[in-house]
Amino acid sequence: MRRPLVRTLATICVTLCPAVILSAQNTTHLGARAGGVAPMRDNDSNTNGSPLQRLVTLDLRKVTLDEALAEIDRQATLGLSYSPRTVPVDRIVTIRVTNMPASQALDVALKGTNVRVTVGATGQIVLVRDVVVEDSTTGAVEGTVLETSTRALVTGATVQISGSKIAQSTKNDGSFHLLSVPAGAHVVRVTRLGYEPRELNVFVTGGKSAKLVVNLTPVSIHLNDVITTATGSQKRLELGNSIATINADSVVRNAPVKNLADLLAARAPGVEVLSTSGSLGAGSRIRVRGLGRVSGNSDPIVIVDGVRMDANYSDYAGGAGTDTKQFNQAAPSSVRSAASSRLDDIDPNSIETIEVLKGPSAATLYGSDAANGVIVIKTKSGRAGPARWAFTADRGMMQMKAKFAEQYQAWGESPVYGSGAACSLQDLVSGACTRIDSVTHFSPLNDSYTTPFTDGRTTTMNAQVSGGTDQMLYFFSGSGTGATGVLTMPKADMALLKQQNNNSPIPDWQMHPNTFSKQSGQARMTSNFGGTGNISFTALATHQLQANMGDNEVVGAALQGSGSKGVNDGWASGSTSPRPATLFAGQGTSAETRGTVSLNGNWTPSTWFNGRATVGGDYGDRTDNYLAQRGTIVYNAPNTLGQRGRVENNTTVYSADFGGTVTIPAGDLWKFQTAAGASGQHTYNKLISGNGSNIPPGATTFNSAQTTTLFESFDQNVTASWFIQEMANFRDRLFLTGALQQTAGSSFGDNVEAPVYPKLSLSWLVSQEPFFPQFSALSSVRFRFAYGHAGQQPSTTGALRTFSAQSAFLNGQVVPVATLNSLGNSLLKPERGTEFEGGADLSLFEDRLTIEGTFYRKVTKDALVAPQVPPSFGYPLVLPVQQNVGTVLNTGVEWTINGTPITTTPFTWDFTIGISGNKNRLTKLNDGVFLSNNGQEAYVVGYPLSGVWTRPILGYRDANGDGIISPNEVAIGDSIQYIGSGVPTHEVSWTNTVGFWNNRFRVTAMLDYQGGLGQYDQGSASASQHSRAWMDPSASLESQALVQAYWKFPNNSAWGYDASVSFTRLRELTFSYDLPASWAQKIRASSATLLLMGENLRLWSSYTGADPEVNVNPIRNYYYDSGGMPLTRNWTLRLNLGL
C-alpha cells in the first residue's frame, strides 16, 4: 500500500508543485519550499472539513518531534500515521502556536525534515518523506536554461515534455527538473517570452535523470527590454505601444550630456526638445507628439523611481501660471534672464534609463495628468560584488559662434543739425535730412573691444560606487559642476565703469554675469529578501545656483545699436536698450534645491503573485534674489533709486502607489495576468515674494527700502486614482491587454464625476506563428496596436469661484477688503486625450537592423481654454475662467531605425535614425469662445495651435520714384495669413558611431534636422530701424518694403520677419579612445577612456535671426525669437575611469 501511495503523491507534486524535485538517485529530495509543506497547502482542497483543519494550540518547549506530533494528533484527533524511519522522531523541537489548523501546526513541527503530510485515498493522514522508490519505468530530466549570447540564466522559461503535461518553469537559477518522465525518447520543448522556442531530443532511462543545458536565442534584443510601467516591469514585447527608451548610463558616459534635455534631444522620435537660450542653466521646452493643449502646461509629467517629480513651471510661479515669472522673478523685467528648467534638476549621472510614454494610449494608467506623455526615469542601482568605482572628469569650453547682423547708420545733412547729422531714408522723405553722405555699419557683438562674449569654461566631476551582496546592494553617486558662461563685461564697458567709479575694481559677478554651479548626489540601497522580494530606498538631492542677469536682453539691445563703433561703442544711446554696463549692473541669482526620495518594495511570494508599493516625496525650493544698489543703473528710475527683490517658491509632492499582479496560467496556451493598484499624489505650492525700492546708497536690505511690497500665495492639489488591468498572453506571442483607470482630483469642478480612462492594446509577435514564412534575414516581426485615454488636469484653482482678500486704506484707516478674483467653473473637468496608435517592429539580420514604425492619432477633447472675461467685467482683475471647450487633433508617424552593419574587429559601424512627423490642428472651438491673438500668434480652427500668423505684404511700388519705399507705398492685406506651426512639424535625427581597432577608438556624430517651425524673428524686426534697409539708399526696394511694412502705422505687418523655418544642426561630435589597460593600471584603474566632445558645431539654416532654435519661453507654445542668446559651441574633454 505504501509504495503506490508515495508514488502517486510524488507524481502529483511533479505536476502541480514544480518546486518539488525528485532525485534521480531515489534519495531524499530537497524541496524548494520550506519543509515541503507549501505544496500540501496547494493541494489541500481535499482537506476541507478534514481533521487537518481542526485548530490546535501548542506551547511545547524542547520536546521530541514524536511528542509534538502526538500532541497535535491528540488535539486534532488526526489518526496520524508515520514511521520512525521516515520521521526523525527524536528531533528536539519547540512549538508555540495558538488556534492554528492542524495542517499548519504539522508544517511547523516538520519544518526542515523533508517530511510532509499526505492524505490517503481513504482519508488516512500519513507523514511521508519525499522519496521516490526506484522505478524502472520513469526517470527525470533536469538542467539549466541559458541565453545564447550572454550566458545569462533564463528564469520563467517553460520546459515541457512534448505531448505530455509534464512541464515546469525554470527557477531563479535557470534550473528545471522534470519528474516521472516515462523512460524512452522524448522531445523537450522550451519556450520563453522573447526567445525563440527550442526543441531538444532526450532519452530518459528509467530511474535516472537526463541532464540538459538549453540555450535560448532572444527573438529580438529590442523586444526583450524590460519597461517600467504603471503595473510594474513588463517586457516590451507585451506592450502594444511604442515606448522610447534611452539608456542614459551609456549615453551620459559617451556624449556631451549636461542635463536631462540633452539626454532627450534627438534621441526619441516624437519627443521634441526645444532650447530656449544659449545661456548657462537655461531650460528647454519638451513636447511629445505635438501640442495637445490650447492653454496650460504642455510638458509631459515626470516619474522618478515611481515618485512624481514636480517639473511644472507654473508651480514655480506660485500656481499663477504666469510665464514671465519663470525668469528671475526678483529682477525687473528689463534684465530678466533665461528660464531654467526644473527637469534639469535631475543629475544625468544618476539615471539608468529614461522611458518616454508618448501619449494617452501608453500613459492611460497614469491618469489625469498624463495626456502630454510621461517621462519615466529609473535611477541607477547597485550590482552585487565588490565595490566598483567609476570616475568622470570633464573640462569644457564654450564659445559664441553665432553670426550677428550688423547695425547701420546713415550720416548726412540736416537743416537743423547741419552736416554729419544722423539720418535715415525716411528722414530724406520727411525733409529732416536733405542728403545722405555716408552709411556706417557695425555690431558691438562682433568686435573684440565691444563684444559681451568671451570663451566660457565648465568643469564637472562625478564619482560613483556600487556593489554589495545578494542581500544588500548599494549605489552612490556624487557630481559637481562649476561653469562660467560666455557673457562678460566688454572692454569698452569696463573702461566706462572704471571711469564712472574712480577706477574701483569691477566685481566678479558683474564681470561674468552668467555663472552656474550644481552639486548632486544620489544614494540607493536595495535589500533583497531571499528571492521573494526587495526594498529599495533612493534619495536624490541637487543644489544649483545660477546667475545670469541680462543674458536674454543683451543681444536684443545690441541689435538696437548705433551702427558705428565711434558712437556709444556701437550700443544704443537711448534708455530702452541699455548697454552691458547697465544690463549687468544688477546682481541676480536663482538658487534651486531639490530632494527626491522614494521607498520601493517588491514582494513575490510565489510565481503567481507580485506585489509592489512605492511611497516617496519630491521637494523643490527655488529662491530668486536681485539687488541693484542705488545709482548703479541709470536707465530705469526704480533701479537708479536702488531695488531689492526676493522670491521664494517651493513645491512639495507626496506620492504613494500600491499595486499587485496575479499571473494565472490557463492550460498550455494561455496565461492571464491581472494587475490592479491605487495611487495618490498631494502637491503643495508656496510662493512668497518681496520687493523694496528706493534704497539709500550702500544699503542692500529690505529694511532700508523706502517702499516695500509683499506677496504670498499657497495652494495644493490632490489626486487619487485606481486601476485594473487584464492581460491575456497566448503562447507568449500574442498579448491582449485591457485596462481601466479612474482619477479623482481636487482641481475638478464639484459637479464633475471622476473620469474613467480605458485602454486596450494588442501585441502580436507574428513571426513566431507557424504560418509565418521563414526568411533567414528576418529575425522577428511584431505588430502592435494600442488605444487609450488619459487626461490633463485643470489649474489648481480653475474650478473655484474665488475672492481676493487684501487690505486697503479707506477713509483714513486700513480695512480688510474682498474683491471677486475668479468666477470659477463647477463643471470643470480634465482634458481627455484619446489616442490610437499602431505600428510594426521588424528585426533583420539577427538584430543587426531593427525598424520600428508607428502611426498615431491623438484627439484631445474638452480642451481647457480660459476665454477672457470681458474687460468691462474687470479683466485682468478678474481672472479668466477655464472651460472645456475645444478639440485638438494630432496625427503623426515615428520611425526608429537601428543598424549595426559592420562589427568586424578592426572596424565597427552602427547608426540610429529617428524620424518623426506631426500634424497638429485645432479642430473645434465652441461657439462664443475666442482665443487671444497675441500679435503674431493665433488659434484658428483648422490650423495648428499657437501658429504664427501675420498679414501679408500684397505689394510695394516706388510711386514717386525717389528710390525709397515709404510706408504708404507698401500694400498690406487685411487678413492674417498662416505662416507656420508653433512647434516643428517634422524632425530627423541621425546618429552614427564608427569604431576602429577593436572598437577602442570611436567617433560618434549626431545630426538633427527640424522643419515646419513658424518662427517670428522679433529681435530683428524691432531692430529694423537700424538695418541697412532703413538707412542705406542702395538697399533693395524689397528689403525696404519689408521694414516699412513692419513700421507702418497703424496696422503694420511683420511679414518680413515671420517664416516657416527649418534647420540642421550638428549637435554632437564625440571622439573617444579607450586607453590601453597598462596605462589605466598605472593609475590603478581597470579601464580608462578619453573623450573629446563637441556640441552645436555647425548650423545650416536660412533663418534671418541668429539662431532659429532659441526662444524666450519654455512654457508657452508660442515660439518667437526676441533676440535671445544663441546656443553656444561647446568642446569638452572628458576622462572616464573605472576602478
Partner 1 sequence: MSDRTMTSAASQWSGRLWIGRHVGRWVAIVGAAVALAGCSIKDIITVPRPSGVLDPKQLQTYNGAISMANGAQGIFNVVFGGSSALNGSGIGIVGPFSVAGGVLADEFSTWSQDILDGRSSDFGSPGGANTIFSFIGNAHMNAGQAIRYLHAYASNAPTQYLANMFIVRAYTDIFLSELYCSGVPVSDASADGSVVYTGAVSRDSLQKLALAEFDSALAYAPTDSAAMRNFIALGKARAYMNLKQYDQAAPLVAAVPTGFAYKIQYAGSPSSAQPWFYQQQYVTAVDVEGINGLNFRSAHDPRLSFDSVANYNGIPIWVPHNMHSSTYAAPVESGINARLYEAEVLLSHQDYPGWLNKLNDLRANGGVAGLAPLVDPGNDHDRLLLTFRERAFWLYATGHRLGDLRRLVRQYGIPQNSVFPIGAWRDGLQFGSFTNSVPDPLEVKYNPKYTGCIDRDA
Site for partner 1 in 1050-1069 (CB under 8 A): 1050-1051
Closest distance of CB 938 from partner 1, Å: 12
Nearer to partner 1, 528 or 822 (CB): 822
b/e string for 1092-1120 if b means 16 or more Cβ within 10 A? ebbbbeebebebbbbbbbbbbbbbbbbbb
Which range touches partner 1 (CB under 8 A), out of 265-273, 306-314, 467-475, 673-681? 673-681
Write out the binding residues for partner 1, residues 585-624 only, by CB under 8 A.
608
- Please pick, from the candidates 92, 213, 877, 1133, the single residue that binds partner 1 as defined by CB under 8 A: 877
Asked if residues 699 and 632 have their Cβ atoms less than 8 Å apart, the reply is no
Identify residues 735-754 at the interface with partner 1 (CB under 8 A): 742, 744-746, 754
For the CB of residue 378, give the shortest distance to partner 1 in the complex, in Å.
26
Smallest distance, partner 1 to C-beta of residue 745, A: 6
Give the Cα separation of 369 and 720 in Å (integer).
11
Q: Which amino acid is present at 672?
A: F
Q: How many CB atoms lie within 10 A of CB 545?
A: 17
- Toward partner 1, which CB reaches closer, 823 or 842? 823
Q: Mask of contacts with partner 1, 424-443, x by CB under 8 A?
A: ------x-x-----------
Task: Name the residue among 611, 528, 527, 532 with its Cα closest to residue 33.
Answer: 532
Sign, CA dihedral 319-323-325-328, equals positive
Q: Does 975 bind partner 1 (CB under 8 A)?
A: no
Rg over CA atoms, the chain: 36
For cell 525668469, name the residue.
Answer: 327
By CB under 8 A, residue 168 contacts partner 1: no
* Count of residues making up the chain: 1139
Q: Give dist(CA 369, CA 795) in Å, integer.
A: 11
Q: Which of 585, 869 has the CB closer to partner 1? A: 869
> What does the CA dihedral 228, 231, 232, 238 come to, rounded to 10 degrees?
-70
What cell numbers appear for 279 in the block? 545661456
For residue 568, state whether it binds partner 1 (rule: CB under 8 A).
no
Task: Report 229-288 residues binding partner 1 (CB under 8 A).
Answer: none
Q: What is the nearest approach in angstroms of partner 1 to the Cβ of residue 278? A: 32
Helices 65-76 and 102-109 cross at an angle (nearest 10°) of 180
| All three cell numbers of 311 | 517639473
Q: How far is the CB of 474 from partner 1 (least distance, A)?
A: 34
d(CA 37, CA 20): 10
By CB under 8 A, tell whether 833 contacts partner 1.
no
- Residue 818, interface with partner 1 (CB under 8 A)? yes
Question: Binding of partner 1 at residue 574 (CB under 8 A)?
Answer: yes
Q: Does the protein bind partner 1 through residue 840 (CB under 8 A)?
A: no
Backbone angles phi, psi at 633, to 5 degrees: -125, 135
Q: Which of 150, 532, 804, 905 binds partner 1 (CB under 8 A)?
A: 804
Does 824 participate in binding partner 1 (rule CB under 8 A)?
A: yes
Residue choice 3, 45, 85, 386 for contact with partner 1 (CB under 8 A): 45
* Binders of partner 1 in range 319-338 (CB under 8 A): 319
> Of 77-85, 502-510, 806-814, 911-919, which segment contacts partner 1 by CB under 8 A?
806-814
The stretch near partner 1 (CB under 8 A) out of 2-10, 70-78, 151-159, 278-286 is: 2-10
x-or-dash string of contact with partner 1, 169-208, rule CB under 8 A: -----------x----------------------------
Residue 669 vs 777, nearer CB to partner 1 = 669
Residue number, 15 or 923, with CB nearest to partner 1: 15
Which of 467, 601, 617, 680 touches partner 1 by CB under 8 A? Answer: 680
**Residue among 870, 961, 975, 1102 that touches partner 1 (CB under 8 A):** 870
Question: Using the rule CB under 8 A, which residue among 420, 605, 871, 963 binds partner 1?
Answer: 871
Based on the shown chain and the rule CB under 8 A, indicate whether residue 104 belongs to the binding site for partner 1.
no
377 residue type, one letter: I
Taking phi over 0 as left and psi of -120 to 50 as alpha, with beta for the rest, 206 belongs to beta
Asked if 810 touches partner 1 (CB under 8 A), the answer is yes
Q: Are 266 and 273 in contact (CB under 8 A)?
A: yes
248-to-353, 354, 849 alpha-carbon distances in Å: 5, 7, 21
Q: Residue 949: which of 1011, 1041, 887, 1015 has the closest Cα?
A: 1015
Give, as ranges, the residues between 707 and 736 that touch partner 1 (CB under 8 A): 707-709, 711-720, 722, 724
For residue 360, the minimal CB distance to partner 1 (Å) is 21
CB-facing half-sphere around the CA of 1026: CA atoms within 13 A: 25
Q: Is the Cβ–Cβ distance between 10 and 179 less than 8 Å?
A: yes
Residue from the set 163, 816, 942, 961 that interacts with partner 1 by CB under 8 A:
816
- Interacting residues of 284 by C-beta distance below 8 A, sequence separation 6+: 261, 265, 273, 274, 275, 276, 341, 343, 344, 1114
- The site map against partner 1 for 64-103 (x = CB under 8 A) is ----------------------------------------
Distance of CA 928 to the CA centre of its chain: 37
Binding-residue pattern over the window 891 to 930 for partner 1, x denoting contact by CB under 8 A = -------------------------------------x-x
Closest among 305, 315, 329, 380 to 797, alpha carbons compared: 315
Tell whether omega for the bond before 18 is within 30 degrees of 0, i.e. cis. Answer: no
Tell me if 873 contacts partner 1 by CB under 8 A.
yes
CB 490 within 8 A of CB 569: yes
Q: Is 961 in the site for partner 1 (CB under 8 A)?
A: no
Of 2, 61, 74, 165, the one binding partner 1 (CB under 8 A) is 165
- Minimum separation from the CB atom of position 754 to partner 1 (A): 6
8 Å CB contact between 1083 and 1137 = yes
Interface residue with partner 1, options 545, 591, 728, 823 (CB under 8 A) = 823
Closer to partner 1 by Cβ: residue 5 or 913: 5
- 832 neighbors 752 (Cβ within 8 angstroms): no
**Contact stretch for partner 1 (CB under 8 A) within 184-192, 404-412, 657-665, 994-1002:** 657-665
Among 386, 416, 809, 1084, binds partner 1 (CB under 8 A): 809
Cα–Cα distance between 185 and 162 in angstroms, integer? 11
Furthest C-alpha separation in the chain: 130
